[in-house]
Amino acid sequence: MPVNGGLERLHPVITHHLVNSLGWQSLRPLQEDAVAPVLDGCDALLLAPTAGGKTEAAIFPLLTAMESERWTGLSVIYVCPLKALLNNLLPRLEQYAGWLGRRVAIWHGDITAAARQRILRDPPDLLLTTPESLEAMLISIRVEQSLLFAGVRAVVVDEVHAFGSDDRGWHLLAVLERLSRLTGRPIQRVGLSATIGNPDELLGWLQGSGCGTRPAVVVAPDLTQSSRPEVAGASDLPPAGLAAGRPPGDVEIDYVGSVSNAARIIAALHRGEKRLVFCDSRQLVEELGTALREIGVTTYLSHASLAADERRQAERAFAEARDCVIVATSTLELGIDVGDLDRVIQVNCPPGVASFLQRIGRTGRRPGSARNCLFLALDQRSLLWTAGLVHLWGQGYVEPVAAPPEPRHIVAQQVLALCLQEHRIGSGLWPSAWNGLAPFDRTAEPILRHLVASGFIDQDGDLLFIGPAAEMRFGHRHFMGMTSVFTAPPQFTVLSGRQEIGRTDPMLLTEKIDGPRLLLLGGRSWRVTWVDWKRRRCFVEPADSGGKARWLTPGVSGASFALSRAVRDVLLGADPPVLLTKRAERVLAEIRGDKLAAAHPGGTVIVRAGDDVRWWTWAGYRANATLAATLSGLVDVSQRFDDASIRLRADLTRETWEAATADATERLCLPDVDERALAGLKFSEALPANLAYATLAARLADLNSAATVLREPARFMVPDPQSP
């Protein structure tokens, strides 16, 4: 192996094994460039396409530091968003650490109590875990936290973009700050990701309280910097951020019109190859998987409502097979190894460019092979939005990662968790637990006052401790409900004899039916034989066919401003820079003809069709929610809006429009929040009601994009009702 700057700084035993155990001739560019900053203790964000060697880029220099600086006990924590990803990484990291006589262990919800006790008795050098399990260790009465974590020097956060875009990221940041208080030193933070639109901002976010005071480096040798708009939602969107590169390869869009047609296309194409098919709902995974099996295709399924054993068996069988298909949700997006893939197929439109890049990155890993993705659109809307997404990708755009605003419910959870961890906390000293990191600082005092007033926290002089309301609400199973910051809707466990198949939505067990009740789960039909309502269990036996799959998926969804505007561009004639089949070209031409009046390059459009008055903003769900709230006097009482348009009152005139919008940019309103939405905001009951509603409203809003729309001219494409 040639000697270069990175290699010569790695421990010689690691260098030896790179050549003789792994057969490597050199380090990859990311691995080479990451050695110096990681070994020197910098916080770092390591960016490379999927399968770019990010894990090794972080671990090799950390193992070197472990040896050269004589770290002892648990010194490196490796955090992942998925248990399956941790399981997948364990053998590889055990091999690397074993070269130096170091040990690795894993701790998550599926690990037995005996295995956890072994870790506590004799801590490993490197621990693989999730944020939820880290929290569980911090609050557990069975863990001597000051002993277990005393030697922690570094934390690796894999798939950091998955944390940075939701509440699990706020939770992780808060837990890392508490961890650094335990160790009495700053902890080096190394994030790994393949698809980031704003790397500098994300690294600063990952640094937490160390942002601006600790050295920080973005390492991205394979990626290129492109310009970034100064205002999110600006009309000149994209390009934006640090695009993870347009991967070379073969991308094609087809229109198939139905699940059965999709199954036939998948069965006919690329026979003898291993194909990974992504769907963005569990129901679609089940329906497509069943359709493929019915026409004789060897098919496996993977989604979050399948039992862990079912998923592992499917993923293992798929990894070892050749001529087969695995149909999955985003559970297989984040790098879990399912062997050497030949093809990725995407049914309908993924949620964004970053997700698309993750998925296409699962292919093209063999020398001489290219990355590839075939899009199959089941309906016209999916075809249009897929074309818009690929058009956006063609411009080099990747969505910026932004943490959800105003995480007050996470602040409430953290104050309660700190009381559990410390047993007693000082009423004047508690903000120091997070090293001054906002919003876990003095600005959270109104939340603390509410927790005390509501009985979640008791106070004795200057000491605060867990109160009866918290015991009653969160005390089940030693406060395990406190460790997770997301709420999962209730599901019933489906059992065939003693074998767990997965979980189903209770509405399938309660809806009125004629004949036997049939479920679709794991790509198979099951007849329900008995339901244990008290224990939420459903017993089934195999059925020939006819099962139904459905899951309730609460929460706000919807397209971004950037994607919605890219879709408008496609309507106006922009062609995505990939191959479209003849079917896709024909249907896209029909869509453009049907929506000719709904799009204009110079602004928004108001179209009347009888009593239906539609304002075509092409601004995305959150911007339209903000506009509907701000212009509530003009909006139809049903407040109907979607990613592309808002329904206005039937009696709208040009005069009432101009009067209502004249000063609208100066009085933008947060969207209204349905009371039922609070059920999806975990720990909302630990907040004052007004703060809980304000949190949800802030997360539903897109003020910048709404202001952009209001500054654009609005064209009335048909006469108003007062015209002759």
- DSSP codes joined into one string, 666-695: GS--PPP--GGGGGGSTTGGGS-HHHHHHH
Residue 246 is predicted with a pLDDT of 45
Q: 402: closest CA among 574, 268, 202?
A: 202
Residue 231 is predicted with a pLDDT of 27
- φ and ψ at residue 661, rounded to 5 degrees: -100, -5
Domain coordinates in residue numbering, the chain:
7-219, 249-394, 492-542, 595-716
d(CA 356, CA 350): 6
Residue where the block lists tokens 């991205």: 220
d(CA 86, CA 79): 8
Same fold, 7-219 and 249-394: yes
- φ and ψ at residue 723, rounded to 5 degrees: -75, 150
Residue 475 is predicted with a pLDDT of 72
3.30.70.3270, 3.60.20.10, 3.30.1490.100, 3.40.50.300: which CATH number matches 7-219?
A: 3.40.50.300
2.60.40.10, 3.30.200.20, 3.40.50.300, 3.40.1350.10: which CATH number matches 249-394?
A: 3.40.50.300
Q: Confirm if 275 and 292 have CB atoms less than 8 A apart.
A: no
- φ and ψ at residue 537, rounded to 5 degrees: -125, 145
pLDDT digits (tens, 9 = 90+) for 21-34: 999 988 999 999 99
Token readout for 250 is: 């073969």
From the centroid of its chain, how far is CA 588?
30
Q: Name beta bridge partners: 371.
A: 249
Residue 239 is predicted with a pLDDT of 36
d(CA 93, CA 124): 12
Please, what are the averages of pLDDT over each run of 10 residues along the chain (724 residues)? 69 95 92 96 92 92 97 97 89 97 95 94 97 94 94 97 93 97 96 89 97 96 44 33 48 97 94 92 95 94 89 82 90 73 93 91 74 96 98 93 93 94 90 94 94 94 92 74 74 93 91 90 94 93 92 73 97 95 97 93 92 94 95 85 94 92 94 79 88 93 96 81 46
Residue 5 is predicted with a pLDDT of 64
DSSP string, 168-204: HHHHHHHHHHHHHHHHTS--EEEEEES--S-HHHHHH
pTM of the model: 0.89
Residue 82 is predicted with a pLDDT of 87
Q: Confirm if 618 and 599 have CB atoms less than 8 A apart.
A: yes
Residue 366 is predicted with a pLDDT of 67
